[in-house]
A and B are shown apart, each in its own frame.
Chain A
Amino acid sequence: MPTINNIATDAQEKAARLGIKKFDIYGSTVDENSVQVDRGAPKQVKASNRSSVIVRVWNEDQTMGVTSTTDVDPSGLELALKTAYEASFFGVKENVPDFSPEASAPIADKSDEKAPQAPVSELLESLLEAEKELLSAHPAIKGVPYNGLAQRDIDRFYLNSDGAIRNEARSYASIYLYSKTEEEGRKPRSGGAFRISRSLEQLDINGCLKETVEKTISHLNYEKVKSGKYRVVFSPEAFLSLLGAFSNLFNAQNILDKQSLSTPESLGTKIASPLLSVCDDALHPDNVAAETFDGEGTPTRRVSLITDGVLTGFLHNSGTAKRLNAQPTGHANIGAKVSVGSHFYHVFPGAAASQEYSLANAENVILIDDLQALHAGVKALQGSFSLPFDGWLVENGKLTSIESATVAGDFLELLQSILFVEKEPELTPGGVCPRVWVDGLSITGE
């Protein structure tokens, strides 16, 4: 596979030959091994080594075209440059994307963190052991139908014809376990957990195992819940998944495209309870998948989105920042249309709460552990959601698993109805967040 310097040199040569003066390239290579097991035997082992690049080209009229390719040898790059040049004549004529003004700005904390990859046999051994322990943890656990252990090296780079060039490398290891129960006369129940870390050595396999067992067993004795309005407590993971589903609130490109619940004028308005504060922080020390620059080469950073309930910031690429008279924030994904995406949410308490709540003495409260089917149940442009969930009914601190139910509401109303943001944060793959209490959500059970 060519090195980044090879790609830069080849691209410059090919561009010069094609008469292309302005271009940039974002690319990555992924080297990955993953394993799955099934009842004491390896099920499938996967390995891959793949590269891909996105090439943007500006023509003489300064309109831009793009092409992505997995063929990164010189002939593949040449074809991509040619195709992007052809596409450039159909590019937008207003608000044409340009190089980020920060594509060469210094990156404060740049460090390559690749860990040596463990042999596949070690991955298999670890996962087989985890499956065995899970199956022996409780007689009702009859299978672990979804499981996987993976390790991945990622190299990313950005370069442009003005001489900007950046690259970084990272390693990750991750595990997921999802077990299923079977008991005579009872419905099958399930529970799962996920962990990610910088290396297999640091991966908390035991924590994942323990959480899977606890969750699965906690759902064995289930009951129906009556439909109605409830006080709901979202687990960190559940709240972050809902926040992510409505990220158009903060997404400057969505806002400019009128595909958002916010408008440019929403900045500075109160959109949530003053108890809530939210940042997006790619460089958070707990973010295992931290990226130091985005698809346009802009350095990533911490961005305040909601402060004490007030909308205080948007996520930008260089184009949206220019149009909204702001600074790029390092959230660009390049393409024919540069999109914007979040990195790692940090949710924390805002203003001091007048009253604190605890599950230990909660009555008739629903604790939602995991929201499902967000792709089907979230209407991101309408602000509404109706989602199945895994969770418990809490009565005086006692948790009873809920057989099957959905939670529905309006996300903007939910933000205003936050009663309490707990102090103790939890680390999840998507961010750091404590439990969040919300009043008056519709639950459909029986």
Chain B
Amino acid sequence: MHSTLLISRELPTLQYTSTPERFDETWSAPLATLLGLGRAAGADFIEFFLERVNYISCLAEDDIISSIAPRLSRGAGVRVFRGKADCYVSTNDLSFSGLKSALEKGLSILGLQLPSENAYIPEINLEPLRDYATLKEKDAWLSKCSSMREMGEVLLDANSQLKLKASHVQSRRAVYFRDWQEVLVVSSDGTNARDIRLTQSVGYNLLCADGAHRSSIAKRVGDTSDPGFLRSWDYESNAEEVAIAAGQMLYADYVESGTYPIIMANQFGGVIFHEACGHLLETTQIERNTSPFADKKGEKIAHENLTAWDEGLSSTAFGTIDMDDEGMPAQRTLLIEKGILKNFIADRAGSLHTGHPRTGSGRRQSYAFAAASRMRNTYIAPGDYTNEDLFASIDKGIYCKKMGGGSVGATGQFNFGVDEAYLIENGKITKPLKGATLIGEAKEIMNKISMSSNDLALAAGFCGSISGSIYVTVGQPHIKVDSITVGGR
């Protein structure tokens, strides 16, 4: 009887022609063949992640454009599972033979043998290409973005605004980048999905100096869906905000170390939740047994005031994605509701290892990384208080208006820097402070977030972890933390 199944020995004779400049339907057949080959070798699951990137950054320093740096990239990652063990192989070679070599390497590492030359290659039925790029009219995005000339013009105009608004300026920088990424995810469970992401960010770095006094303030805004984003950047108000903050901090005293009640501002203040809790709800941490919340689902882990979300759906937010890097549509995931832990953030491998359901959170920096459970837009929900209520509740404390970066360690201990802080005395802001670092234990701090204001706002950020640096949103309303250790002088 004639079989339509491919036989192993026929593989070298196959001639595939995939469109080089677009991950369209022509990629389905060769990838399905390779998935079949992987299954024939005994792999339980195989995934191909293909990526093309067209990135450019532009830097204005004082009154010149000092750097325009385009970067072009293409590559693929092949992930092979055998039971719960997995292997990830990445390559720049997107030819059929290049992808086949990468697959064979992955199979070999997991101790799997290629099928004999007379073996049949199972057919993998892929879903019809789920093309978010075409469905959402993203194919023309790149051509609608600002040209190199326009980038330069906007940044120089923006930098001239800083010159007008700031004093004691040592250096002014305006920075822009555009990251255009096309991805295709094809896997042996039938997933066949394509997307285009357009991430842009622009901002200022201002350094002021007066004798031994120095202050440096940065501000950045970001977007994920508007090719005209740079054109509509409101640099005048951003310049004013940065200039005022730098002026305030220039002569600020160093904070006196100790334990204080603090108020954290909205927007980037959300980094506290991101670091102190968000990372510990990723299945990556559950797998490693480095999360104190691993067995707390359904239990109270935070103050009853606190509800928090992680989602990929907010339009234009920096962590918004139509699908994750494993081809799963993004979701809105309730993490904590009134202090009760509701859900974890899970990717495919994390789900396999921990049993928690996938949440469309498998993310990675590029084809060089296997996807891992990562946050998207993560924020504390607004509460019933006003900012006045929060300040009025503090006799002596610190207002953390602008946070720097932070991190969380293997024991749940977190820390982050404060770029712009003020002393609160008797409910009022009295003077600027610098040099503060907030330190705490995740389990303890979550029960000390006792008041949330009603002014939720989000901010663009970057998150570095096991699968590289990715774009995320952090956010919160103004919140009060009853007490926290503040490192200073």
Residues of chain A touching chain B, judged by Cβ–Cβ distance below 8 Å, are 1, 33, 38, 41-52, 65-72, 76, 79-80, 83-84, 86-87, 90-92, 94, 120-121, 142-143, 145-146, 178, 180, 187-190, 227, 257-259, 335-337, 372-373, 375-377, 379, 381-384, 386-388, 404-406, 408-409, 442, 444
Measured CB to CB, the nearest residue on chain A to B289 is: A143
CA distance A187 to B439 in the complex (A): 15
**Whole-angstrom distance between the alpha carbons of A335 and B148 in the complex?**
16
Known contacts A48-B90, A258-B171, A376-B416; A386 and B72 CB within 8 A of each other:
no
Q: Is the CB of A442 within 8 A of B489?
A: yes
**Chain A residues near B288 (CB, 8 Å)?**
38, 143, 145-146
Q: Which residue of A lies closest to B73 (CB)?
A: A70
Determine if A48 and B368 form an interchain contact, defined as CB atoms under 8 angstroms apart. yes
Bound together, the chains give a CA A373 to CA B417 distance in angstroms of 9
Asked whether A71 lies within 8 Å of B69 as measured between CB atoms, the reply is no
Known contacts being A120-B109, A386-B487, A388-B437, is A83 close to B72, with CB within 8 Å?
Answer: yes
Contact at B88–A45, with CB atoms within 8 Å?
yes
Residue of A nearest to B419 (CB): A379
Q: Are B405 and A388 in contact (CB under 8 A)?
A: no
- Contact (Cβ within 8 A) B488 A408: yes
> Could you list 7 further interchain pairs (A-B, Cβ under 8 angstroms) beyond the known A372-B407, A384-B435, A406-B439?
A47-B88, A79-B72, A80-B72, A90-B65, A120-B109, A180-B410, A376-B407
- Within B400-420, which residues are at the interface with A (CB < 8 Å)? 404-407, 409-413, 415-417
Cβ-closest chain A residue relative to B90 = A48
B356 within 8 A of A: no
Query: A121 to B112, alpha carbons, bound, how many Å?
Result: 13
Minimum CB–CB distance for A118 against chain B, Å = 13
6 contacts between A and B (CB under 8 A): A46-B370, A69-B71, A69-B72, A337-B66, A377-B417, A444-B486
Instruction: Check if A408 sits within 8 Å of B487, measured CB to CB.
Output: yes
CB neighbours of A121 from chain B (8 A): 111
Residue B404 contacts which of A38, A227, A376, A409 (CB distance < 8 angstroms)? Answer: A376
User: Cβ of B71 and Cβ of A188 under 8 Å apart?
Assistant: no
Contacts of B315 in A (CB 8 A): none
A87 to B149, CA, bound (A): 9
Residues of chain A contacted by B42 (CB below 8 angstroms):
none
Interchain CA distance A52-B73 in the complex, whole Å:
9
Q: A188-B412, A258-B170, A386-B417 are in contact. Are A46 and B257 (CB under 8 A)?
A: no
Would you call B160 an interface residue if the criterion is a C-beta within 8 Å of the partner chain's C-beta atoms?
no
Q: Please name all residues of chain B whose beta carbon is closer than 8 Å to the beta carbon of A372 when the two chains form the complex.
A: 407, 409, 415
Q: A45-B110, A46-B88, A189-B411 are in contact. Are A71 and B70 (CB under 8 A)?
A: no
The answer to whether B148 and A178 touch across the interface, beta carbons within 8 angstroms, is no
Which residues of the other chain, A, contact B441 by a CB distance below 8 angstroms?
A: 187, 404
A38 to B441, CA, bound (A): 25
CA distance A408 to B257 in the complex (A): 9
CB of B199 to closest CB in A, whole Å: 18
With beta carbons under 8 angstroms apart, the residue of A47, A76, A227, A373 that contacts B258 is A227
A259 in contact with B148 given A44-B87, A45-B109, A337-B66 (CB within 8 Å): no
Which A residues are in CB contact (< 8 Å) with B439?
388, 404, 406, 444
Chain A, residue nearest B271 (CB): A376
Whether the pair B68, A387 counts as a contact (CB closer than 8 A) is no
The 3 closest A-B pairs by CB, nearest first: A406-B487, A444-B257, A145-B288
Inter-chain CA distance A84–B69, complex, in Å, is: 8
Given the known interface contacts A50-B75, A72-B92, A259-B207, the answer about A376 and B289 at a Cβ–Cβ threshold of 8 Å is no
B257 touches A227 (CB 8 A): yes
Q: Which residues of B contact A373 (CB under 8 A)?
A: 405-407, 415-417
B348 at the interface (CB under 8 A from A): no
What is the distance, in angstroms, from B276's C-beta to the closest C-beta of chain A? Answer: 13
Residue of B nearest to A119 (CB): B109
Tell me if B258 and A382 are in contact (CB < 8 A): no
Assembled-state Cα–Cα distance A65/B65 (Å): 12
